[in-house]
Structure 1
Amino acid sequence: MTARFRQPATYIMANRRNGTLYTGVTSNLPQRAWQHREGTVEGFTQRYDCKMLVWFEMAETMESAITREKQIKGGSRAKKLALIEGTNPDWTDLYGTIAHG
């Protein structure tokens, strides 16, 4: 795993393009995304099959990642979709870009 991903991150998982979205925060994005993909943690993402990492943003501190998560969760669905499509217009599963190294 690449060291640069062993830092706080805010992320969005989806079950399909324009489908159900889950916003979360973690200190180890590759590990957390893998857990969502494999369904190893019971809860929302397992129930709604949110296995695609469609957006993420690294943060300097966990506090800033949590602040960003709250900002995203407090926003509208349209804002979440715009955030995803601004950097990932094809809704590509970004897991492959973070899982190597």
Structure 2
Amino acid sequence: METNKIHTFYVLQCRDGSYYAGYTNDLTKRIKTHNEGKGAKYTRARIPVQCVYKETFDTKQEAMQAEYAFKQLTRKQKIAYMRGE
């Protein structure tokens, strides 16, 4: 198991109301990067963004699997997931 790292799956809400899901091991820095227009191409045209959901995992693999699974959901399912439904 990897040590001393917090592996985070996160969801941002963009200025246009859309969602962006990602993975990081430094959430504060990653959100700052997105809001500086240096993050993912998707978020660059949709800043500012804010974190509306996060989940932490013991390993990078687990966090990235959660991100992948989330991206397969419909918008309605994503909202339910973030509400814990």
Q: Which range moved further: 65-74 or 26-35?
A: 26-35
How large is the RMSD of aligned CA atoms in angstroms? Answer: 2.1
Q: If each structure's helix is expressed as a fraction of its own residues, which one has the higher value?
A: 1
Q: Of the candidates 45, 51, 54, which is equivalent to residue 52 of structure 2?
A: 54
Shift, 1:64, TM fit = 0.2
Shift, 1:7, TM fit = 1.2
**Correspondence for 1:38:** 36
Moved over 2 A (4+): none
Stretches of structure 1 that go unaligned for 5 or more consecutive residues are 88-101
| TM-score normalised to structure 2 length | 0.81
Give the SS at the match of 2:10.
strand
**Correspondence for 1:12:** 11
| TM-score normalised to structure 1 length | 0.69
Shift, 1:70, TM fit = 0.6
- Alpha-carbon distance in 1 for matches of 2:15, 2:80: 15
Output one character per residue of 1:46-101: Cα deviation in whole Å (capped at 9) or x when no partner.
122251111110111000001000110011111111233x16xxxxxxxxxxxxxx
Query: Contact 2:11/2:53 (CA < 8 Å) preserved in 1?
Result: yes
Shift, 1:23, TM fit = 0.5
Stretches of structure 2 that go unaligned for 5 or more consecutive residues are none
Amino acid at match of 2:13: A
Amino acid at match of 2:9: T
Amino acid at match of 1:9: T
